[in-house]
Each structure stands twice: as structure tokens, then as C-alpha cells.
Amino acid sequence: MDFLVHNTGWIEAICGPMFSGKSEELIRRLRRAMIARRRVQVFKPVMDDRYSRDEIVSHADSRLEATVVANAREALQRLDWRAQVVGFDESNFFGPDLVDVAQQLADSGKQVIVAGLDTDFLGRPFPPMPELLAVAESITKTLAICMRCGNPAKHTQRLVESGDLIVVGAAGAYEARCRRCFEPGAPRQEWLPLAPPATPPETEG
């Protein structure tokens, strides 16, 4: 979102599943801010070391230098207060304090851009994204392409067995799926097509 007035802060949120272009969109917006000669700082969580430690990197290999921090509080400590535009990639990994921190930055006049997963591997809202969406001025929901059927995909399908909320770095551990093809958690052994039950369930009476 390109606001015309630059003396007020705001929060822009970019959310969606993995592979939907959140990092690409974040990088695009930050590059445009740089072209406008605005001072930019972008943070990424230390746990996301899929490709590079001090850059944000999209799946299509678009890159931007980033400050690596453990959580939202550390981002505040390491903030360059001259930054006019502050980005957070993988926002769902900064902890619950990211909501307060983003608000504080926006209240102090900065353009804050948060990009992150809106749902987890079970399809549940991924904290603190829901709160961030509630306080943001602008929300962009990005969709990927379903690897099963080619439809627009809003889910991150886990392909490996694990009950943990976070499994990072394992290549091929996730793919994008649409609502219909999504299998919450690890996939079943066999692909079961969606169909009504052969016999209707018995009703009491």
C-alpha cells in the first residue's frame, strides 16, 4: 500500500501459506521504499536459517540484507531508530511481543511491514498473525499454487511425520495445498478422494 502522507506510521501485513510469495512481496515493497530514499531495516528470526543467515531470501532467490534476532524484543533493541520503514519476515516466529513492538513502531511514525504464515500445519491460526491482522492498516493475503491440483492454495501441507508446531529447514518437508487437497498434519498413507459416506449415518429416534 502506498500511502501519500509519510508523517504518520502504519502497519501493513502480508500473510498466506509457504510458497505464496510473502517474502517476494516484502522484498518488493522494501526495494520500492529504498528507491524512494527511505531508510529501511528488515528483521528475520534466528531460527529461519533455511538459506542465509543475514539476508531474507525468497524461494525464487530474491534477497535483501536483514538483521537476525531471536524475538521481537531483541528487534526493538537492535532497531536503527533512523529507519523509516521496518520489515519483519517470518513474523509468526518473533513471538507474541511482535504485536506490541509493531504497534509501538507504527505509533512512532514508521511504516511497518509484517510478512508471515497465517495458519500452521494443522490449518490453525498461527499466533501472533491474527492479532497483527487485527491492528494492521492494510492486509494482503497471498495464495500459492496447490501442488496436488493446481488451484489457489491457502494451506501449508507438512509432508513429514512430526507433531511439533515448527519443523524448519527440512528440504521437501512442506508444500502448498488448496482447501480441498489439504490433509491437516502429516498426510495419510493413501490418497482418499472426498466423497459422501456410502451409507448415511444412523439417526437416533
CB of 73 to ligand ADP, least distance (A): 24
Question: Does the protein bind ligand ADP through residue 23 (CB under 6 A)?
Answer: yes
Residue with cell 501493513: 12
Of 41, 58, 92, 111, the one binding ligand ADP by CB under 6 A: 58
Residues 70-99 that bind ligand ADP (CB under 6 A): none
On the 0-12 / 13-18 / 19+ scale of CB atoms within 10 A, 194 is exposed
Phi, psi of 69 (to 5 degrees): -135, 165
Any catalytic annotation for residue 90?
Answer: yes
Question: Does the protein bind Zn ion through residue 148 (CB under 5 A)?
Answer: yes
CB of 203 to ligand ADP, least distance (A): 42
Residue 67 and residue 78: Cα distance in Å, rounded?
Answer: 8
Question: Does the protein bind ligand ADP through residue 19 (CB under 6 A)?
Answer: yes
- Binding partner at 112 among Zn ion, ligand ADP, none, C-beta below 5 to 8 Å by kind: none
Residues 124-153 that bind ligand ADP (CB under 6 A): 144-145, 147
Q: Quick one: which segment of 16-24, 131-139, 163-171, 182-190 binds ligand ADP (CB under 6 A)?
A: 16-24
- Residues contributing to the site for ligand ADP (CB under 6 A): 16, 18-24, 58-60, 144-145, 147, 176
Catalytic residues: 90
Q: Which residues bind Zn ion (CB under 5 A)?
A: 146, 148-149, 151, 178, 181
